[in-house]
Chains A and B, each alone.
Chain A
Amino acid sequence: GAGVSQTPSNKVTEKGKYVELRCDPISGHTALYWYRQSLGQGPEFLIYFQGTGAADDSGLPNDRFFAVRPEGSVSTLKIQRTERGDSAVYLCASSLRPLGLAGGLGEQFFGPGTRLTVL
């Protein structure tokens, strides 16, 4: 597709359940980012992939959160034992190359987000 897509657009789950959120980056973009945005707040960095590897996962709040990008394209954010405090919009972004690499302009293209509600 032309832009970053995320599925599902909305996810409602019960406390304690496991959820997976998917991100399809723009074709050819090597860098992929996950953010979480709570109401009235700016996006909060979670993790960033360069290719298949997590280059920086310092933003993951705890070990219930995990993300993978096995083939360097699609990424899945996984949340175990969800809690009400996990409710937020989860945003994915991709960029052609990350900042710091040759030609890496750093412009991130964002997807529409997945709104997660934990009851």
Chain B
Amino acid sequence: AQKVTQAQTEISVVEKEDVTLDCVYETRDTTYYLFWYKQPPSGELVFLIRRNSFDEQNEISGRYSWNFQKSTSSFNFTITASQVVDSAVYFCALSEAGDMRFGAGTRLTVKP
């Protein structure tokens, strides 16, 4: 069975600090996909990134970066120079075939 663990329930940082959100997953498949979604206070989930299991290259998009390590089954998300607008709940998710299994989420609060 596939499973996603986000051990950090809540994180609070001060603006401009860097912050890393952890994600550890379990799967028996060799082909799978990992995702990060953001859920701001408005409630709608916003797609951030997708990664397939064959591509372990780290990715950077502006202030966001992702570190995918199959050896530790982790897909961590780092926000550099955090901003108040980054405050949201962030979900890591795993998909093997069509469905999507989400972690419990990490609530990030960025204080001014």
Contacts and interface: CB of A to CB of B under 8 A. Distances in A.
B102 interface: yes
A58 interface: yes
Contact of B50 (A41, A48, A93, A105): A105
A111 B50 CA distance: 19
A48 B50 CA distance: 19
A99 interface: yes
A72 to B, nearest CB: 15
B76 interface: no
Interface residues of A, number: 30
Given A42-B105, A56-B98, A109 B47 contact: yes
A110 B35 CA distance: 14
B105 A41 contact: yes
B105 A107 contact: no
A107 B93 CA distance: 11
A45 B100 contact: yes
A50 interface: yes
A43 B4 CA distance: 12
8 contacts: A42-B4, A42-B6, A45-B99, A56-B97, A91-B45, A93-B45, A106-B33, A113-B44
